[in-house]
C-alpha cells in the first residue's frame, strides 16, 4: 500500500498532492481555545525576541488569537503580498510532495491542532506550528523567494545521492531554527523557535547554546537534533544574504560535501565566526542524544 492509500483510510478526500479540505467550520471551540492559548503565550515572549519581519508578517496577515485561521482567507492576504498560498495536509508529507508544493509557492500546513496536554511539545507539525510559525515569514518577499528556491533545490537534490541530507540541514538551521543579526544581538526567525515559548527564551537568552555566524557549507555539514533544544544556532546577517546563498552552484557544493568532515550538533570549528560559545550547562529534559537519521 502506498503512503497515500494508507492516509486515505483516515482522510477519504485526500488528493494526489496530499492536500485535504481544511473544513474550517469543523474546528471545535476547544480547538480554537488551544490556538488562542498558544497565540497569547507567544505574544508575551516574541516582542523584542522575534525579528521585525516576523512580527510584521503577523500584522500584515491579520493573524489573531481569537480563532484558528481560515486558510482561504489567509491565503488571499498572503497571495497579495508574495504570491504564496497555504494548503491543508494531514501532517508531514513525503519529501517530493513537500518540495513540489514549495516550488509552486504553496505552503502545506497541518490541519489538526495539538491536544491541550501537548501544548509545549508535539512531534508532528500542527496548524499552530505551520501557520503561526512559518506563514508570517512567507509575507516577506526575500524569505518567500528563499522558500521557493528551497523547494526547487529539493526537487533537484532528490536525484543526487546524499544531497538531500545536506539540503535538509540547511532547512533545519534556517527555516526551522534560524537567528538573524540585530543591532542588540540576534533575533529569531526560525519557525521551530517562534512557535515554542521555551525555545524562544532559550535561543535568545540562554548561555547554553553556541551561536555561530552562518556559513552555507558549514551548516550543510552539521547534523541536527530533533529531540531537544538546539546546541548550536546559526546567525544570518540578512535575508538578502541568505537568498543570495541559494544562487550558488549546489551541484559543485554537494560534490565537495561528499568529501571532508560531518560535524556534530554542538561542535565548534576553527573557521567559525563564534558569537557565543555555549556553556551547554542548561539541558532541559536532557535525554540521550539522538540526531537526524537515527
Ligand atoms: N512535510 N508538512 C511537511 N512539513 C515539513 O516541514 C516537511 C514535510 N515533509 C518533508 C520535510 N519537511 C523535510 O524532510 C524536507 O524539508 C527535507
Ligand atoms: Fe516546520
- In this model, does residue 248 exceed pLDDT 80? yes
pLDDT at position 282 over 80: no
Q: From ligand 2's centre to the CA of 40, what distance in Å? A: 20
CATH architecture of 3-293: Orthogonal Bundle (1.10)
The confidence score (pLDDT) of residue 122 equals 85
Q: Which of 14, 93, 98, 131 to mutate to test the pocket of ligand 1 (most atoms within 8 A of CB)?
A: 98
pLDDT of 160 reads 84
* Ligand 1, atom 10: closest residue by C-alpha: 95
Confidence of residue 205 (pLDDT cuts 50, 70, 90): very high
Domain boundaries, the chain: 3-293
pLDDT reading at 285 higher than 70: no
- Cα(281) to centroid of ligand 1, in Å? 31
Between CA 188 and CA 52 the distance in angstroms is: 9
Residue nearest to atom 16 of ligand 1 (CA): 168
Whether the per-residue pLDDT at 147 is higher than 90: the answer is yes
**Range name among 15-19, 159-163, 173-177, 274-278 with the lowest pLDDT average:** 159-163
Contacts of residues 120-124 at CB distance under 8 Å and 24 or more positions apart, as own/partner, are: 120/196, 120/197, 120/198, 121/196, 124/91, 124/92
pLDDT for 252 beyond 80: yes
Ramachandran area for residue 138 (φ above 0: left; ψ -120 to 50: alpha; else beta): alpha
In this predicted structure, the answer to whether residue 21 has a pLDDT above a threshold of 70 is yes
What does the pLDDT read at residue 281? 62
DSSP per residue, 11-71: -TT--TTS-----GGG--HHHHHHHHHHHHHHHHH-TTTB-HHHHHHHHHTT--SSSPPPH
Position 123 scores a pLDDT of 84
Report how far ligand 2's centroid is from the alpha carbon of 115 (Å): 18
- pLDDT, tens only, 38-70: 999 999 999 999 999 999 999 999 999 999 999
Amino acid at each position: 500500500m502506498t503512503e497515500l492509500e494508507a492516509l486515505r483510510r483516515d482522510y477519504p478526500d485526500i488528493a494526489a498532492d496530499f492536500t485535504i479540505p481544511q473544513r474550517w467550520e469543523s474546528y471545535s471551540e476547544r480547538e480554537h481555545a488551544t490556538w488562542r492559548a498558544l497565540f497569547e503565550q507567544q505574544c508575551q515572549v516574541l516582542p523584542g525576541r522575534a525579528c521585525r519581519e516576523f512580527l510584521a508578517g503577523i500584522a500584515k496577515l491579520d493573524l489573531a488569537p481569537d480563532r484558528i485561521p481560515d486558510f482561504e482567507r489567509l491565503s488571499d492576504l498572503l497571495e497579495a503580498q508574495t504570491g504564496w498560498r497555504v494548503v491543508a495536509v494531514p501532517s508531514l508529507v513525503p519529501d517530493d510532495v513537500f518540495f513540489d508544493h514549495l516550488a509552486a509557492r504553496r505552503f502545506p500546513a497541518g490541519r489538526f491542532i495539538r491536544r491541550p496536554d501537548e501544548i509545549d511539545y508535539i512531534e508532528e507539525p500542527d496548524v499552530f506550528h505551520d501557520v503561526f510559525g512559518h506563514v508570517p515569514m512567507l509575507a516577506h518577499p526575500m524569505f518567500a523567494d528563499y522558500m521557493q528556491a528551497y523547494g526547487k533545490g529539493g526537487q533537484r537534490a532528490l536525484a543526487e545521492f546524499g544531497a538531500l541530507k545536506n539540503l535538509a540541514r540547511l532547512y533545519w538551521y534556517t527555516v526551522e531554527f534560524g537567528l538573524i543579526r540585530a543591532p542588540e544581538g540576534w533575533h529569531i526567525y526560525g519557525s521551530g523557535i517562534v512557535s515554542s515559548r521555551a525555545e524562544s527564551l532559550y535561543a535568545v537568552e540562554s548561555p547554553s547554546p553556541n551561536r555561530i555566524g552562518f556559513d552555507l557549507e558549514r551548516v550543510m555539514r552539521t547534523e541536527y537534533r530533533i529531540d531537544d533544544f538546539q546546541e548550536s544556532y546559526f546567525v544570518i546577517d540578512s535575508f538578502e544574504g541568505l537568498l543570495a546563498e541559494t544562487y550558488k552552484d549546489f551541484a559543485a557544493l554537494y560534490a565537495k560535501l561528499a568529501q571532508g568532515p560531518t560535524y556534530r550538533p554542538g561542535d565548534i570549528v576553527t573557521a567559525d565566526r563564534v558569537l557565543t560559545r555555549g556553556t551547554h550547562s542548561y539541558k532541559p529534559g536532557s535525554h540521550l542524544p539522538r540526531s537526524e537519521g537515527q
